[in-house]
């Protein structure tokens, strides 16, 4: 009898596609790894499922248990989906910036969604959301905190699965991999895997202008799913990263629009941000190069925002650009750093201040 997969068996093994129209030099290849084909619609299915299954295996999460997480987007959606499939209660702490689409998705999966309205000292909601999630975890018996920002199992999922999968799909023939950053799960896992297995492949990090993961000046930004106000411990060795770029909101969103119009790929904001840097490098490095970019999620989630002219104009953003215009602009982009170790903004005291569950410091194998 043919064994039919369950929903969660379909996480991973995402396609790698080559762009056909935006790359002028046909000897160079720009590849996108399409994480939208995961059942929860984003790359976050991978670390979420990995962490939940490790927690079950280690006895941290038992039948009837409650999963509590701070997330304004994809990780919360994924946990809500996994909770529905496995029968756990899920509480997600979101903030006023969480989009109606994301809220609706979490609720559709049956999650208990709570909005945290108090800002932290950096003007964002990350720290207040995390502190409240940790408090609820202490109060609710049988609860488990995946803790994507501080739990090293997040990057381990990408080290053991996603990075290896990309390497196999490329058969090792790759010049650079481009990763956008928030919790550092992707960047931490990929940089470790590639520097151990193929150190010639350049690992390029892409953050939002206004985020201070790699230092710099903090201010608000619109890029969804990217940025943080400290270097997350999932990026445990900055020397494994070759270069860091910071991309402005408008460039990333215009890239999304060109990608949809000229390639038929509807990507999220971080896909656009990563591709801005990939597009720059493919022009700068000359013929015959192969650059892979992770495309973390699905543009349908952003139809009311990035793909909506009214939303863009209200925020003072341009809505139209020709490929030549954006190509010229991305060429001007300069790296935020070529010496990532000098950009460290680790804040180990946050573990105490936010009262993070301590056992995660013992999980690295």
- For residue 104, the minimal CB distance to ligand PLP (Å) is 17
- The active-site residue, picked from 5, 33, 44, 280, is 44
For ligand PLP, give the closer residue by CB, 75 or 150.
75
Through-space distance between the first and last CA atoms of the chain, rounded to whole angstroms: 38
Q: Report the residue number, 76 or 357, with the smaller CB distance to ligand PLP.
A: 76
Phi, psi of 318, rounded to the nearest 5 degrees: -70, 150
Taking a C-beta distance cutoff of 8 angstroms, is the pair 97, 125 a contact? yes
Q: CA Rg, the chain, in Å?
A: 19
Nearer to ligand PLP, 65 or 79 (CB): 79
Establish if 181 lies at the interface with ligand PLP (CB under 6 A): yes
Burial 157-184 (b: 16+ CB within 10 A, else e): bbbebbbebbbebbeeebbbbbbbbbbb
Burial class (CB in 10 A: 0-12, 13-18, 19+), 122: middle
- Which of 28, 186 has the CB closer to ligand PLP? 186
DSSP string, 279-340: HHHHHHS-TT-EEEEEE-BBGGGGTTTTT-HHHHHHTT------HHHHHHHHHT---SBS-G
- The tokens for 5 are 């997969």
**Torsion angle of alpha carbons 351, 354, 359, 362, nearest 10°?**
-10
* Residue pair 279/22 in contact by the 8 Å Cβ criterion: yes
Residues 270-299 that bind ligand PLP (CB under 6 A): 270, 296-297
* Cβ 352 to ligand PLP shortest distance, Å: 23
Q: Which stretch binds ligand PLP (CB under 6 A): 17-25, 174-182, 310-318, 340-348?
A: 174-182
**Does residue 180 touch ligand PLP according to CB under 6 A?**
yes
Element (H, E) at 197: helix 185-197
In the 8-state DSSP scheme, what is residue 268? -
Query: Is 146 among the residues that bind ligand PLP (CB under 6 A)?
Result: no
Whether 107 is a known active-site residue: answer no
Return the number of the residue (28 or 293) whose C-beta is nearest ligand PLP.
293
Q: Which residue is nearest to ligand PLP (CB)?
A: 225
> Which residues, 25 to 64, sit near ligand PLP by CB under 6 A?
42, 44
28 vs 207, beta carbon nearer ligand PLP: 207
Size of the site for ligand PLP (CB under 6 A): 19
Please state whether 357 falls in left (phi above 0), alpha (psi between -120 and 50) or beta.
beta
40, 65, 233, 268: which one binds ligand PLP (CB under 6 A) = 268
CB 319 within 8 A of CB 325: no
Q: For ligand PLP, which is the closer residue by CB, 65 or 227?
A: 227
Question: Minimum CB separation from ligand PLP for residue 159, in Å?
Answer: 12
Which segment (88-96, 181-189, 249-257, 318-326) binds ligand PLP by CB under 6 A?
A: 181-189
- Binding to ligand PLP by CB under 6 A, coded x per residue (else -) over 200-239, reads -------------------------xx-------------
CA distance 364 to 87: 28
Tokens of 195: 């520097």
By CB under 6 A, the residues from 294 to 353 that bind ligand PLP are: 296-297
| Residue from 14, 28, 98, 182 in contact with ligand PLP (CB under 6 A) | 182
Q: Which of 186, 191, 305, 343 lies at the binding interface for ligand PLP (CB under 6 A)? A: 186
Q: How far is the CB of 179 from ligand PLP (least distance, A)?
A: 7
User: Using CB under 6 A, which of 41, 83, 185, 299 touches ligand PLP?
Assistant: 185
Contact of 202 with 241, CB cutoff 8 Å:
no
Per CB under 6 A, contacts with ligand PLP among 62-121 are 73-75
- Number of CB atoms found within 10 A of residue 257's CB: 22
Interface residues with ligand PLP (CB under 6 A) are 42, 44, 73-75, 180-187, 225-226, 268, 270, 296-297
Name the residues annotated as catalytic: 44
């Amino acid at each position: 009898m043919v064994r039919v997969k369950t929903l969660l068996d379909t996480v991973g093994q995402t396609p790698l596609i080559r762009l056909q129209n935006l790359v002028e030099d046909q000897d160079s290849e720009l590849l996108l790894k399409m994480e939208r084909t995961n059942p929860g619609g984003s790359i976050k299915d991978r670390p979420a499922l990995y962490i939940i299954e490790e927690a079950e295996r280690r006895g941290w999460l038992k039948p009837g248990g409650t999963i509590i997480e701070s997330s304004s987007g994809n990780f919360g959606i994924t946990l809500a989906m996994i909770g529905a499939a496995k029968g756990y209660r899920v509480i997600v702490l979101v903030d006023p910036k969480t989009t109606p689409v994301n809220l609706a998705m979490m609720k559709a999966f049956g999650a208990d969604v709570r909005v945290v309205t108090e800002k932290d000292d950096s003007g964002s909601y990350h720290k207040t959301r995390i502190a409240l999630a940790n408090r609820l975890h202490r109060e609710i018996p049988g609860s488990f905190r995946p803790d994507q920002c501080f739990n090293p199992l997040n990057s381990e999922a990408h080290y053991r699965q996603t990075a290896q999968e990309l390497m196999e799909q490329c058969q090792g023939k790759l010049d650079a991999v481009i990763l956008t950053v928030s919790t550092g799960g992707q960047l931490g896992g990929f940089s470790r895997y590639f520097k151990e297995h193929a150190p010639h492949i350049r690992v390029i990090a892409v953050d939002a202008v206004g985020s201070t993961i790699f230092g710099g000046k903090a201010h608000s930004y619109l890029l969804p799913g990217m940025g943080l106000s400290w270097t997350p411990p999932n990026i445990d060795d900055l020397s494994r990263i070759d270069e860091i770029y910071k991309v402005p909101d408008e460039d990333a969103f215009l890239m999304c629009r060109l990608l949809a119009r000229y390639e038929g790929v509807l990507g999220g904001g971080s896909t656009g941000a990563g591709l801005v840097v990939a597009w720059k490098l493919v022009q700068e490095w000359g013929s015959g190069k192969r650059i892979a970019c992770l495309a973390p999620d699905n543009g349908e989630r952003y139809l009311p925002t990035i793909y909506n002219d009214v939303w863009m104009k209200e925020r003072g953003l341009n809505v139209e650009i020709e490929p030549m215009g954006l190509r010229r602009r991305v060429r001007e982009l300069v790296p935020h750093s070529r010496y990532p170790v000098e950009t460290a903004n680790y804040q180990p005291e946050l573990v105490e201040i936010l009262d993070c569950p301590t056992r995660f410091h013992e999980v690295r194998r």
